[in-house]
Amino acid sequence: MVAGTIIGASIFVQPSVISAQVPSPSAVTAVWIVAGALTLIGALVTAELASAYPRTGGVYVFLREAFSPALGFLWGWAMFWSMHSGIIAAIAMVFATYVGHFVPLGDAGVRAAAVAGVLLLSAVNYVGVQHGSRLQTAFTIGKVLGILAIITVGLAADPTAAVPGAVEGTPARFPPARDFALALVAGLFAFGGWHMVTYAAGETVRPERTIPRALLLGTLLVTACYVALNAVYFRLLPLDTVVTSQRVAADAAAVAVGPRGASAVSALVIFSTFGALSGIILAGPRVYFSMAQDGLLFRWVGTVHPRYRTPHRAVLLQALWTSVLIVTGTYRALFTRVIYTEWIFFGLMAMGLVLLRRRETYAPTYRMWGYPVLPVLFTVSSALIVVNQLIADPRDAAFGLAVVAAGLPIYYYWTRHAHR
């Protein structure tokens, strides 16, 4: 689930964002390594917290335990209205767009295909977490094998087939720190979703052991895949092509094996995005279920299906709202303006680990290595990411903060109403 949720469409279609910010193969590689390292630190933090609180809800539970129910509520609030539902809608649209590569679809057809994909995978997760996890496993194996195939073919391809001006003729230079930071944000976006495995802790066998191992191994696997894929891109394509291409994996495959390679990669993107959707759709309802169990959402959201033993109403609620975002197109504004705000919560989560370590009642079965240096480094890095976004795009960043902050009056109204 960790690897399958992280690997979606970004690594196949948009390394151009990173290459445009840091126009040097060595610097691009450094971005992917640093992004993977930060993700690994976040995974270590999350792994310890998950071993201490192996309950359904993940980050929501960690923030609630470390700080207050109000902060946990804000995480769930932002998840439902924008961060989580928005990413489902965005990935579903990428999936549907690539389906249009094989089957002609207009704008309405693309949206219909995206909604159909969301509803189908929601139905799978409605009827049981085992069905969802098996589907996720199958898609993860398939996409990793596809990535290995691209890497193998790319490294085995005749170097003379590469486009003139590929990596050999590209000067190595390190970019300014601000450009590197902007590129790092784009890289971290491609690693998004690493924390979602903790949402289903309550339905995981031996979560105190399984989840830390999954986070560590999954993050390392994804980092290795990303670095290797970028090495292939730069081996076969010149820097200018990588910067401008919106389908860089397809372009690299076309150089290696011809037009059929581009079609094969397009099919892989469909497969990969569908697999990522499966994991993300599985994860979200567990947070809303946990919030409802704590009295922070309607009680009916927290009910378990008598036969399938899933948070079926939360699954339906997420599917309906995501479909609305797809049909109306509002997911674009929400997603691009709000997605960075999750790093506020990630930084607070790492800070919360430091606070929890001082409590006598805190008893994790797994303790991360590198404490306290790594949690503090992760907290500072998260703060820099947020500040950098505020400076680079103050209007949209302010909108994202406003969406999150709007949950506070709702929380206080809800809690006062619940106690009456």
String of DSSP letters for 71-101: HHHHHHHHIIIIIHHHHHHHHHHHHHHHHTT
Contact 308, 339 (CB under 8 A): no
- Evaluate if residue 420 carries a pLDDT over 50: no
Residues of the chain above pLDDT 90, percent: 38
Give the Cα separation of 29 and 228 in Å (integer): 9
- pLDDT of the residue at 213: 87
- pLDDT of the residue at 125: 85
Q: Which residue has the higher pLDDT, 282 or 374?
A: 374
Taking domain 2-418, whether its CATH number is 1.20.1740.10 is answered by yes
Give 172's pLDDT tier (boundaries 50, 70, 90): low
Q: Name the range with the highest mean pLDDT among 22-31, 113-122, 195-204, 304-313.
A: 113-122
- Evaluate if residue 168 carries a pLDDT over 70: no
- pLDDT of the residue at 314: 94
- Residue ranges per structural domain of the chain: 2-418
Give 164's pLDDT tier (boundaries 50, 70, 90): low
Residue-wise pLDDT for 226-282, tens only, equals 999 999 999 999 888 888 887 788 888 888 888 888 788 888 888 888 888 988 998
User: Mean per-residue pLDDT for 39-50?
Assistant: 92
Give 166's pLDDT tier (boundaries 50, 70, 90): low
Asked whether the bond before 372 is cis by omega within 30 degrees of 0, the reply is yes
* Residue among 326, 339, 256 nearest 97 (CA): 326
User: Mean per-residue pLDDT for 360-378?
Assistant: 93
Q: Which residues of 328-342 are buried (b: 16+ CB within 10 A; e: fewer)?
A: eeebeebbebbbbbb
DSSP 197: G
Q: Which residue has the higher pLDDT, 216 or 13?
A: 216
- Give pTM, 2 decimals: 0.86
Give 136's pLDDT tier (boundaries 50, 70, 90): confident
Return the minimum-mean-pLDDT range out of 48-52, 222-226, 331-335, 401-405: 331-335
Give 64's pLDDT tier (boundaries 50, 70, 90): very high
Residue-wise pLDDT for 73-110, tens only, equals 999 999 999 889 988 998 898 888 888 878 888 889 99
Give 49's pLDDT tier (boundaries 50, 70, 90): very high
What contacts 29, CB < 8 A, 6 or more positions away?
Answer: 227, 230, 231
- pLDDT of the residue at 359: 95
Please give the mean pLDDT across all residues of the chain. 87
Crossing angle for the helix pair 69-78 and 342-356, nearest 10 degrees?
Answer: 150
- pLDDT of the residue at 369: 87
- Evaluate if residue 350 carries a pLDDT over 90: yes
DSSP 199: G
* Residue among 230, 236, 234 nearest 162 (CA): 236
- Evaluate if residue 222 carries a pLDDT over 90: yes
Contact 133, 289 (CB under 8 A): no
User: Mean per-residue pLDDT for 385-412?
Assistant: 88
